[in-house]
Amino acid sequence: MRKDEMYDTPKKKVALDVNDLNNFVYDMDHCIKCKGCYWVEHTYMPGVNFSTRCPSNLWNDFDSYGAFGKMRIGLALNEGKLQWTDKLLEIIYADPLCGACDVGCKRNLDLEIELTLEALRVKAVKDGAGPMPVHKKIAKNIASKHNQFGSPSDNRKKWLAKDINVAEKADMLYFAGCSASYANPDIAKATAKVLNASGNKFMLMQEEWCCGNTLYSVGMIDDARELAKRNIDAVKASGAKTLVTSCAECYRMWKVDYPKMLNIATADLGFKVLHLIEVADEAIKNGKLKLTKPVDVRFTYHDSCGVSRLSDPWTPWNGERGWMGTVSPALKRRRGTTGLYTQSRNILNAIPGAKFVEMPRIRENAFCCGAGRGTKEAFPDLAKFAANHRLDEVKSVSAEVLVSACPWCKSNFNDAVKENGDNVKIMDISEIILASVEI
């Protein structure tokens, strides 16, 4: 387009900064209600069953629970036309922020839906309306005990077994996270053993603190930022070149949300952030990790949001929006394309004896388990509903085992399975890898 053909569109300053909802007025303004945020991408649409991607809007049918409704609500809030009420808080917080809407929108429109939803929560907290009461309790736990659950800090490394080799000093640091440390120790153990088996020397933090996932996710950005700074400093002080996590939520937090809060690029963290999936995939490829023990099950894989569509690296951006909504300088949109889709499937396909079957909704179209980002604590019904819906999909492909790469997913699915008396076994990817390794 020649400059002389462009209309005299006033340029507006804009940044990818969730501290100010005004940065996302354009995005809220330009939602067209195509519901790409709600439906599975049409090319991959499996049929009338499992056709949706949004746990919130499937749980509650009113449009306000879908991203397209929240965009309109966000505008009204921003313009002072809506006041915070219990119902409005429910609409904003009954949502695992799983990113399905974001990648759905970016199929065609490239609107920043995920960031808008995060900014709405930041605004809720700044306005004194949010977060939900149970989130405040979690924040207190994190502040006092450095973990979500309020368990004694001393119990954090209880998962460490005698047959696990932890180095005093190593280039790799394993960050287990709250869930694997306290609620799912088998995942921490399995991860450590897989790292051992693949010849990856690793150390642990002197004093591991919660990553702050819930704090950031519910809009308590100032608290989350302080925690991020502390944690990053701790890693730098350890001399680690790589931080490995076995938790999808921690992975997203370290890789994406820490840089986002600190206005730096993922590449500028000073160390690499990897999930076990990446480490194991690499180790299998270069022959350092051998999966030789047959695992005789039919299993399927759930793409946890934090290791899939939410895991594109972060690059800070600010600039101007002008002609026809175009922005300058160039903005590389995060569309969830660099999720660990291939790596996880490489691993699962390498397990001998096992029959790996895919569910109808996979990769960027996967249906979230509903647990993450403060949802299960504040809206257990929604988390249960989402898990049950996903388990129906597991059963639809006759899988005996559901594998995920996130302890929060595992807990949530396990709770649902126990309550229903289902005979689906829930495993973490670290556990199924370990099951296939001769030790």
Partner 1 sequence: MSIQKQAYKALEMVVGSKYISDDPAICEGYRSGPGGYESGLGYERVMTTIPGTVVLPRTTEEVQKIVKICNRYKVAYVPYSTGFYGPRSHCHVENELLIDLKRMNDFEIDEKHFYIVVGSGVVYSPIQQEALNKGAYVVIGGGGAQASAIANLIGDGWSPLSHRIGLPHRRILGTELVLPDGEVVRMGSLAEGSDPFWGDGPGPDLRGLLRGFTGLRGCLGIVTKMAIKTLPFQPEPLVPTGIAPNTALALPPKRVKWVNFQMPSKAAQVKAMFEVGKAEIAGAVTKVPLFWRAIAKAECKEEFWEIWGKETEETIKNFFIVRVLLVGYTSEEQMQYDENVLNDIMTELGGIPRPTKPSDESWIKNADSAGMWLMCGSYVSVDYIIESLSQATQHGEHYADLKRKYTPPLMPDNGDPGWFQSFELGHQGYSEFLVYWDQDEDTTGVDQFYLETAKMNIRERFYTSLLGPHQPLYLTGPKYGPNYHEWLLKVKDAFDPLWVCHPPVPLAHDDFVNRAEWMHPLKDWESPKKLPMPKW
Q: Which residues bind partner 1 (CB under 8 A)?
A: 1-2, 5, 7, 9, 29-36, 39, 41-48, 51, 61-66, 68-70, 72-73, 75-76, 81-82, 85, 87-88, 91, 103-104, 106-110, 323-328, 330-331, 333, 335-337, 341, 363-365
Question: What span, in angstroms and rounded, lies between the C-alpha atoms of 268 and 271?
Answer: 8
For residue 428, what are the β-bridge partners?
A: 404
Which residue, 40 or 283, is less far from partner 1 as judged by CB? 40
Strands 318-321 and 327-328: antiparallel
| Nearest by Cα to 214 from 303, 150, 129, 309 | 150
Shortest Å, Cβ 397 to partner 1: 15
Residue with Cβ nearer partner 1 (111 or 227): 111
- Alpha carbon separation from 29 to 72, 118, 281, 304, 407 (Å, rounded): 8, 17, 42, 30, 37
Q: Which is nearer to partner 1, 73 or 240 (CB)?
A: 73
Smallest gap from residue 175 Cβ to partner 1 (A)? 28
Give dist(CA 22, CA 4) in Å, integer: 30
Closest CB to partner 1 among residues 42, 162: 42
Shortest separation between residue 327's beta carbon and partner 1, angstroms: 7
CB of 5 to partner 1, least distance (A): 5
Measured distance CA(308)–CA(310) in Å, rounded:
6
CB of residue 395 to partner 1, shortest distance in Å:
19
- Of 240 and 359, which CB lies nearer to partner 1 in the complex structure? 359
- Amino acid in the structure at residue 239: G
> Which residue carries 């994406």 as its tokens?
256
Q: Which is nearer to partner 1, 32 or 143 (CB)?
A: 32
Smallest gap from Cβ 117 to partner 1, in A, equals 14
Q: Give the span between the Cα atoms of 368 and 100, in whole angstroms.
A: 8
Q: How far is the CB of 130 from partner 1 (least distance, A)?
A: 14
CB of 58 to partner 1, least distance (A): 11
Pair 52, 39: CB distance under 8 Å: yes
DSSP lists the bridge partners of residue 14 as 319
What are the beta bridge partners of residue 52? 39
DSSP SS3 for 328: strand
Question: CA geometry: angle at 243 spanning 241 and 213, to 5°?
Answer: 140
Cβ proximity to partner 1, 127 vs 163, nearer residue? 127
Q: CA angle, corner 330, sides to 328 and 336, nearest 5?
A: 125
Chain position carrying tokens 């088998």:
186
Give the residue with the Cβ less far from partner 1, 144 or 342: 342
